[in-house]
């Protein structure tokens, strides 16, 4: 292997050339999860990211209890808890007339800003023995025939037996022969901003999910504050958004106006930011010769809630396990590709299909004002308390990952 890099992983003069058993594109939650699994199995793995850490990312900042369990399995949980955070012990579904349906979490979740979450995972990745190249942008997948054999970019050339694409929305894995960028029903649109002084009369540890008539197949949120700042946002599916003919910012402002009492003593801090979410269960080939696709790159985001961290960690772990076995078996054969595709289907795709049905049913409840009916409210309360809205509940969760021998430590 030949590589010209600094000790921190930044390219020296922008020239990077090398090879490893596996190369992972993207050092977000999915890429770090895959890299940690591989490095702790003794596999030579290099993770490449265009950013220089610590770096922020637009997000709702919420971590489910399932995500926290996976972070603990990966060895990053303590580092995440050491960062500024809010503990979430309750959630509420809030309907247009103010009706609140609450549930308490047996295992609390957390609100953690992405700059802290991703940096905790980055440090865990490096401690595991993986190499990390920061500030190097992958522009293309390198192919020999129909097999992916590496990645390339400006001043970058890296060869590997297996490539794991964990580079999020707009992934290089979507280029031909991939399906192209998500759109329509497979794309979510969200906007978020931070507020100080938000009123939490119902409890400071409560996440409010507000189902609004002008956010069909979506919702708005008000999350508990971290260091005095609450994450507030709106989420809507791109196809219903396009049919409304209203700007996302206008929908956001209308939500703030309807809940003015919550924000009357508060102040917006920083800019409003928007982003796109490729959502499941979009049809996609997640395993091809030499290539595995995971996390946001594969569109593995909950279509109902917009959650993507658990999906990224879970499919990143599965991609790491599959790439590990591919290295040991001498290639990413058909059986391994089918196993990985089956894992993704069980963990994300099938549960997401059920969530689409729930999403459409709730749209009818909101649009028709059925939440005012006592029997409907009772049914909503029963379903909510049974965690019907969660994709990460134990019935669909992945089995605990056994990391085996650990190289390095935090």
pLDDT at residue 265, rounded to an integer = 93
What is residue 196's predicted lDDT score, i.e. its pLDDT?
98
Q: Is the dihedral of CA 134, 139, 142, 143 positive or negative?
A: positive
Q: What is the pLDDT of residue 14?
A: 57
* pLDDT score at 1: 38
DSSP labels for 344-383? HIIIIIHHHHHHHHHHHHHHHHHHTTGGGSHHHHHHHHHH
> Has residue 156 been placed in a domain?
yes
CATH number of domain containing 61: 3.50.50.60
Any domain includes 45: yes
pLDDT at 407: 33
Which pLDDT score is estimated for 389? 61
Tell me whether residue 234 is in a domain.
no
Per-residue pLDDT tens for 194-208? 999 999 988 889 999
Find out whether the peptide bond into 392 is cis, omega within 30 degrees of 0.
no
Chain centre to alpha carbon of residue 88: 18
Q: How far is CA 189 from CA 124, 179, 236, 250, 308, in A?
A: 31, 19, 5, 13, 13
Which of 282, 245, 265, 302 is closest to 60 using CA atoms? 302
Distance linking the first and last C-alpha atoms of the chain: 27
Say how far apart CA 190 and CA 108 lie, in whole Å. Answer: 24
* Inter-residue contact 111 to 86 (CB < 8 Å): yes
Give the pLDDT confidence score for residue 394 in this predicted structure: 36
Task: Tell me, yes or no, whether 186 lies in a domain.
Answer: no
Q: What pLDDT is attached to residue 15?
A: 77
**pLDDT value of position 58:** 95
In sequence order, the 6+-apart residues with CB closer than 8 A to the CB of 286 are: 292, 293, 294, 298, 340, 341, 344
Check residue 402 and give its pLDDT.
52
SS3 category, 384: helix
Report the pLDDT value the prediction gives residue 180, as an integer from 0 to 100. Answer: 81
How many Å apart are CA 110 and CA 103, to the nearest integer? Answer: 16
Residue 268 lies in a domain: no
pLDDT for the residue 9: 42
pLDDT of residue 3: 41
Q: What is the DSSP string of 202-229?
A: T-TTEEEEE--TTSTT-EEEE---BTTE
**Token pair in block for residue 376:** 């409907």
Domain enclosing residue 70, as ranges: 1-181+199-216+280-410
Compute the chain's Rg from CA coordinates. Answer: 21
* 385 falls within a domain: yes
Domain count, the chain: 1
CA distance 363 to 361: 5
Strands 100-111 and 187-196: unpaired
pLDDT (0 to 100) of residue 179: 80
Instruction: Identify whether 192 is part of a domain.
Output: no
* Overall size of the chain counted in residues: 410
Specify the pLDDT at position 2. 40
Q: Is residue 125 part of a domain?
A: yes
Residues of the chain with pLDDT under 70: 1-14, 387-410
């Amino acid at each position: 292997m030949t590589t010209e890099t600094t000790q921190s992983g930044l390219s020296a003069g922008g020239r990077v050339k090398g090879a490893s058993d596996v190369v992972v594109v993207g050092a977000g939650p999915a890429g770090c999860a895959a890299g940690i699994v591989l490095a702790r199995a003794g596999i030579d793995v290099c993770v490449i990211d265009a950013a220089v850490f610590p770096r922020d990312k637009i997000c709702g900042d919420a971590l489910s209890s399932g995500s926290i369990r996976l972070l603990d399995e990966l060895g990053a949980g303590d580092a995440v808890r050491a960062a500024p955070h809010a503990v979430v012990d309750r959630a509420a579904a809030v309907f247009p007339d103010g009706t609140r349906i609450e549930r308490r979490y047996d295992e609390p979740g957390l609100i953690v800003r992405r700059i802290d979450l991703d940096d905790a995972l980055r440090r865990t990745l490096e401690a595991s023995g993986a190499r990390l190249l920061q500030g190097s942008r992958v522009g293309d997948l390198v192919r020999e025939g129909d097999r992916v054999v590496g990645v390339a970019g400006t001043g970058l050339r890296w060869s590997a037996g297996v490539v794991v694409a964990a580079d999020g929305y707009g992934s290089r894995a979507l280029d031909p022969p991939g399906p192209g960028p998500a759109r329509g029903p497979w794309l979510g649109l969200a906007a978020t901003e931070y507020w100080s002084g938000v009123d939490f009369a119902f409890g400071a540890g409560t996440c409010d999910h507000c189902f609004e008539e002008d956010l069909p197949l979506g919702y708005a949120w008000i999350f508990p504050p971290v260091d005095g700042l609450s994450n507030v946002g709106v989420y809507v599916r791109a196809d219903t958004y396009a049919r409304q003919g209203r700007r996302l910012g206008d929908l956001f402002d209308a939500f703030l106006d309807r809940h003015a009492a919550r924000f009357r003593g508060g102040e917006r801090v920083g800019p409003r930011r928007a982003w796109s979410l490729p959502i499941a269960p979009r049809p996609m080939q997640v395993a091809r010769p030499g290539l595995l696709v995971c996390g946001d790159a594969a569109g593995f985001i909950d279509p109902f809630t917009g959650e993507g961290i658990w999906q990224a960690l879970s499919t990143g772990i599965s991609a790491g396990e599959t790439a590990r076995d591919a290295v040991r078996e001498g290639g990413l054969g058909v059986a391994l590709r089918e196993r990985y595709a089956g894992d993704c289907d069980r963990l994300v795709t099938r549960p997401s299909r059920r969530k689409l049905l729930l999403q459409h049913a709730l749209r009818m409840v909101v649009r028709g004002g059925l939440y005012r009916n006592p029997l409907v409210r009772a049914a909503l309360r029963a379903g909510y308390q049974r965690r019907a809205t969660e994709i990460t509940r134990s019935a669909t969760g992945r089995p605990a990952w056994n990391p085996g021998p650990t190289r390095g430590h935090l």
